[in-house]
Amino acid sequence: MSAHAIIQKLQSIYDLTTQERQTIGSLPVHVRDAKAGETLVREGDRPTQCCLVISGLACRFKVVADGSRQIMSFHISGDVPDLQSLHIDVMDHDLGMLQAGKVAFIPHAAILAMNERHPRIAAALWRNTLVDAAIFRQWMVGMGRKSAYSRVAHLICELVVLSQSVGLSDYAIERTPTQEEFGDALGLSVVHVNRTIRALRENGLVSTNGRQLLVADWEGLKSAAEFDPTYLHLKKAA
């Protein structure tokens, strides 16, 4: 039931059989509420369980010496942001909630046992971590070689497609991060994110409804972002 989210997520990148879905659905999970701003797992921790996001918005981040933050990924319903802790003992970054929601904890032992018996599920999970890495690479391209305008547009495209791929929203971002969070993800200041979003609005590419970002011109946004969803490795492209 609470594992429904992860099944839907894995289905978006990998074909699972009914039996495999049942196996995943019967994993032991411990669900709890998580508040906005809460840090779920910390750099240096050695987790013995993985954290599944059921609702809300999570992110992975590091804090640099001067106090600034780099967000490395956003995570919505179905994501397991610390899946890597299955095979990497020490956390090299923090995992926190940006917007309140429910999270489920699943013991490593249960997942490892499942993986031994179900190589296809193991492959799906491995694939999931590889798609994460592909997204990191894409973000690197943005931060290294693209303008702020193109980068912001790209992140919006990505979040929209990922929301869609798990059936959460259509041409909108399920849980829009704040502009400060956009900045921390893109390596930009809040001020510049604000101006860039304004420029996107003035160019008719997006519109805002309070905090929520809505796509006004999908093709235009994609081309401003040079967005090609291949790197998300979804079964069906957007």
Partner DNA sequence: CGCTGCCTTGACCATGATCAACGCACGTGG
Partner DNA sequence: CCACGTGCGTTGATCATGGTCAAGGCAGCG
Select from DNA, a copy of itself, none the partner in contact with residue 198, using the beta carbon and a kind-dependent cut-off of 5 to 8 Å.
Answer: DNA
Least separation in angstroms between CB 71 and a copy of itself: 8
Q: For DNA, what does the binding mask look like between residues 187 and 206, x meaning CB under 7 A?
A: xxxxxx-xx-xx--------
Least separation in angstroms between CB 77 and DNA: 20
CA distance 29 to 22: 14
Instruction: Quickly count: other Cβ atoms within 10 Å of residue 1's Cβ.
Output: 8
Least separation in angstroms between CB 69 and DNA: 12
How open is the CA angle 109-94-167, to the nearest 5 degrees?
75
CA distance 124 to 157: 24
SS (H, E, C) 145-156: HCCHHHHHHHHH
Select from a copy of itself, DNA, none the partner in contact with residue 190, using the beta carbon and a kind-dependent cut-off of 5 to 8 Å.
Answer: DNA
Q: For a copy of itself, what does the binding mask look like between residues 24 and 53, x meaning CB under 8 A?
A: --------------------x---------
DSSP one-letter string for 192-212? HHHHHHHHHHHTTSEEEETTE
Q: Return the amino acid letter for 188.
A: L
H helix or E strand, kind and range, residue 185:
helix 179-186
Could you give phi then psi for residue 187, rounded to 5 degrees?
75, 35
Contact status: 223 vs DNA (CB under 7 A): no
Token digits of residue 228: 């090609």
Q: For a copy of itself, what does the binding mask look like between residues 85 and 114, x meaning CB under 8 A?
A: --xxxx-xx---------------------
CA distance 67 to 65: 5
Looking at 100-108, 140-148, 172-180, 203-211, which segment touches a copy of itself (CB under 8 A)? 140-148
Select from DNA, a copy of itself, none the partner in contact with residue 189, using the beta carbon and a kind-dependent cut-off of 5 to 8 Å.
Answer: DNA
Contact status: 10 vs a copy of itself (CB under 8 A): no
Which residues are at the interface with a copy of itself (CB under 8 A)? 44, 60, 62, 64-65, 68-70, 72, 84, 87-90, 92-93, 115-116, 119, 122-123, 126-127, 129-134, 136-141, 143-146, 184-187, 226, 230-231, 233
